[in-house]
Amino acid sequence: MNQKLMILGFFFFLWLSTVASAQQATRSDIQALESKITNLETTVREMDKRLTNQIVELDKRLTNQIVELDKRLSSQINTLFWAIGALIGLVLAVIVLPQLLGYFQEKRARTDFQKQIDELEQRLEQYHREIEELKSRRLVTPS
């Protein structure tokens, strides 16, 4: 029974506290709330201005950092392209140079070979003439 009485008293206390606090607001209460709301609005506006300024500053800093990063990346990309071009040139030189040297050696060998052939043809012609001359001498002179 004691417990029932305590629970009933507790509910009665809660009911009275809600009834007591549910009074009508007076003019001074409304004015106090208006001044608090005005103060809150002012504080919110100031905070908004500060946050806006901070956002603008952060945006400027980030923009500058992005621009600097873009410049660095562009220069590194250009350097990379030059390095790749140099490597391609080196590979081509390694491939083409022996072929060019072989071509010029073959050309020189062909030229030398052709000179030798021409010299041999000249000698052959000279020998033919000498033989013909010797034959003609033999026929002319009685034996």
Instruction: List pLDDT tens digits, range 5-50.
Output: 778 777 777 776 665 555 676 888 888 889 988 999 999 999 999 9
Q: Which residues of 77-106 are buried (b: 16+ CB within 10 A; e: fewer)?
A: eeeeeeeeeeeeeeeeeeeeeeeeeeeeee
**How are the residues of the chain apportioned to helix, strand and coil, as percentages rounded to the nearest 5?**
95, 0, 5
Is 30 domain-assigned? no
Is the model's pLDDT at 140 over the cut of 70? no
Q: What is the predicted pLDDT for the residue at 59? A: 95
- pTM of the predicted model, to two decimals? 0.45
Q: What is the predicted pLDDT for the residue at 32? A: 86
Is 18 domain-assigned? no
Which of 10-14, 46-50, 65-69, 128-132 has the least mean pLDDT? Answer: 10-14
- Count of structural domains, the chain: 1
- Bigger pLDDT: 5 or 93? 93
Is 97 domain-assigned? yes
Is 75 domain-assigned? yes
Q: What is the predicted pLDDT for the residue at 20? A: 54
Is 64 domain-assigned? yes
Domain of residue 124, residue span: 35-140
